[in-house]
Amino acid sequence: MPKKSRDRADWERSTYADAIKRVPERAKFETTYGARIPPVFDPSGSDPGLPGEPPYTRGVQPTMYRGRVWTMRQYAGFGTAEETNARYRYLLQHGQTGLSVAFDLPTQMGYDADDPRVAGEVGKVGVSISSVDDLARVFEGIPLAEVTTSMTINATAAILLAMYVAVGKQQGVASERIGGTTQNDILKEYIARGTYIFPPRPSMRLATDLIAYSAAELPRWNPISISGYHIREAGADSVQELAFTFADAIAYADAVVERGLEVDRFAPQLSFFFAAHSTLLEEVAKFRAARRVWAGIMRDRYGARAPASLALRFHTQTMGSTLTAQQPQNNIVRTAIEALAAVLGGTQSLHTNAYDEALGLPTEESVQIALRTQQIIAEESGVTETIDPLAGAHAIESLTDDIERRVGAELGKIGDLGGALVGIERGYQQRAIEDSAYEQQRAVEKGEKLVVGVNAYRAGEEPDVPILRVDEGVRTKQAERLADLRRQRDPTRTARARADLVTAARGDANLVPRILAAVEARVTLGEICADLREVFGTYDPPRR
C-alpha cells in the first residue's frame, strides 16, 4: 500500500475513529443516491496533510463539521441594555449558538453615556455600556455558564472583560467557567479602524496584561482576537489581510514572551478574526494558507510544542463593504457566497451580515435571514459532510501555496522595518491599505470591476426597505441611570479603587485585577479611562 494511503487509513482507524464516536447519530454522510461520503478525499498532486494535524491546512479538528458545525455567532447590539437583551433572546430562540456584542462608539472610545462630547452617538452603532450594572442588564436571564460571548471591543477591552467577570460572579458563575473572546486587538485600530485612546505602547501593555491575566485566571477565555477583518474592510487585499494580522500577532506574542510566559502557556488562547469576501476560491485558499502560516510561525519562531499552540482558531464575518445600498436584496446572495467560502475554508465561528446593513442597523427580519443562511449551509448544502472538500483542486492548491508565499514575503518586509509596531508608527501598513483601497475603487469607477446593481445591471426604482431607528431617548435614560449609580455607590470604596488603579498604571503591575476591583466598586468606564488618560496620554496619529 502506498505510504500516503496507508497513513490515511491509519488516521481513519485511530484519530477519526475516536472522534467520530461523538458525531450525532442523525448524521448519515451519504449522497442523495446512497453512496458513502468518506471523511477526507485524497488530493491530487502534493499532499497537504490530514485534518487535525499540524500544519492544519485541512482544518484544526480531525472531524471538522462532521463532528460539530461552527458556532453561529451573530454580532448584535444597539440602544439600551434591555433592547440588546431582547435581540439576543430572539436570536437564541431562532438557533444562534453564541453571542457577539456590538458596543456603541462612546463605549469603544472610553466615554460615559452622559459625557456631552458623545451626545449624538449613544446607542447608535451598538449597546451603550457605562457601568457593570449596564452589562448585567444585557445578560439578564442569559446564563453565562451556558453560552460563550464574543465582545468586539479594543481600547476598553480590559474594562469590559472585568465587567463580564463581575456579572458572572453576580450570577454565581466562577471565573474559570466563563467562556468567550475579547477582541482586544489594539494594533489594528491604529492600522485600519480608529477606535484607539492611548498611544500604541501603553495600549500594548493593556492588551498583554489581559492576555497574561486570562492565562492565569480565565482558562476558557480567548483574551485576544487578532483581527484581519477590519484590515480587509478598510481596503486591504487578501495577502495584506493575513500578513498584517500575523505581524500584529507576532508583536503580541513577543510582548507576552518578554513578560516571562512560555509560549505554550498562552498561545492556545490566542484567536483570530478574518473577513470572508465574495471571491470564493481565493477566500477558501486564504483560510487554508492562514493555518499553514500560523503553524509555521509558532513552530519556527517560538518553538511551540503543544499542538494547540500551532492551531489557528478563527471567527469569520462576511464583509460589510461588499454590501450595496442599491438593490439591497442582492446582498443576501453575496452574504451566502461569502459564508460558504468561510465554511469551505474551515472557520470555527461565523457571523453573516444582514442584507440591509448598507442602509442601517439590521431589523429582526433581516437578521433572521442572515442566520438562516448559515443554517441552510449547515443543514442542506452537504458541504459539511466532507472535510476540506475542495482539497486537491488545482486552483485551490495553487492559490493556497501562492498566498502562503506572498504572506511570508510581506512578513519579511515588516520584520525588516522592526515589526508591526514600528511599521504602524511609520505608517507603512496604513499607506499600503490606502493604496489597495484606491486601486479597488478606481477599478469599480472605470468599469473594470463590475458590482451588480451599482455599475452593472442597474434597476430603476429602488425597493422600499424598512430601517431600524434607535430611540433618541437612549442617552437621557442612560444619563439618569448614571446619576443614580453615582448617588448610590460607596464614595470611599470608589475613590480607593481609582487611586489604586492610577498607582498601578504608573508602575508595571498587571492592571486587570485593579480594573476588576474598580468596576466592582461601580467606577464607570468613563472614569477609569479618564484616570488612565492622565497617566498614559492620548494618541494623535501622524499626519500624512
How far is the CA of 246 from the CAs of 146, 234, 312, 457, in angstroms?
31, 17, 11, 39
pLDDT in 10s for each residue of the chain, 544 residues: 344 545 666 656 666 566 656 665 555 677 666 777 777 776 666 678 889 999 999 999 999 999 899 999 998 999 999 999 999 999 999 999 889 999 999 999 999 999 999 999 999 999 999 999 999 999 999 999 999 999 999 999 999 999 999 999 999 999 999 999 999 999 999 999 999 999 999 999 999 999 999 999 999 999 999 999 999 999 999 999 999 999 999 999 999 999 999 999 999 999 999 999 999 999 999 999 999 999 999 999 999 999 999 999 999 999 999 999 999 999 999 999 999 999 999 999 999 999 999 999 899 999 999 999 999 999 999 999 999 999 999 899 999 999 999 999 999 999 999 999 999 989 999 999 999 999 999 999 999 999 999 999 998 777 788 888 888 889 999 999 999 999 999 999 999 999 999 999 999 999 999 999 999 999 999 999 999 999 999 998 876 5
Instruction: Report the C-alpha gap between 497 and 502 in whole angstroms.
Output: 9
The total number of residues written for the chain in this structure:
544
- On the 0-12 / 13-18 / 19+ scale of CB atoms within 10 A, 306 is middle
Q: HSE (CB half, 13 Å, CA atoms) of 323?
A: 24
Helices (H) and strands (E) in the chain, counts: 22, 9
Q: What is the pLDDT of residue 480?
A: 96
**DSSP code per residue over 265-325:** HHGGGEEEEEEE-S-HHHHHHHHHHHHHHHHHIIIIIT---SHHHH---EEEEE-STT--S
Q: HSE (CB half, 13 Å, CA atoms) of 458?
A: 8
Q: What residues have CB less than 8 Å from 356, skipping those under 6 apart? A: 328, 331, 362, 363, 366, 465, 466, 467
Choose among 468, 526, 485: nearest CA to 77: 468
How far is the CA of 491 from the CAs of 111, 112, 159, 221, in angstroms?
20, 18, 20, 32
Answer whether 231's CB lies under 8 Å from 433's CB: yes
Q: What is the pLDDT of residue 17?
A: 61
55: cis peptide before it, omega within 30°?
yes
Instruction: Give the three-state DSSP class for 388.
Output: coil
* Domain chopping of the chain, boundaries: 69-182+489-544
Q: What is the pLDDT of residue 45?
A: 62
How far is the CA of 69 from the CAs of 224, 283, 345, 349, in angstroms?
23, 19, 13, 9
Q: What residues have CB less than 8 Å from 507, skipping those under 6 apart? A: none
Instruction: Report the C-alpha gap between 285 and 265 in whole angstroms.
Output: 30
Cβ neighbours, 10 Å, residue 107: 33
Calculate ∠ Cα 69-288-318, nearest 5°.
60
Q: What residues have CB less than 8 Å from 282, skipping those under 6 apart? A: 238, 399, 403
Instruction: Give the three-state DSSP class for 251.
Output: helix
**DSSP code per residue over 406-426:** HHHHHHHHHHHHTSHHHHHHH
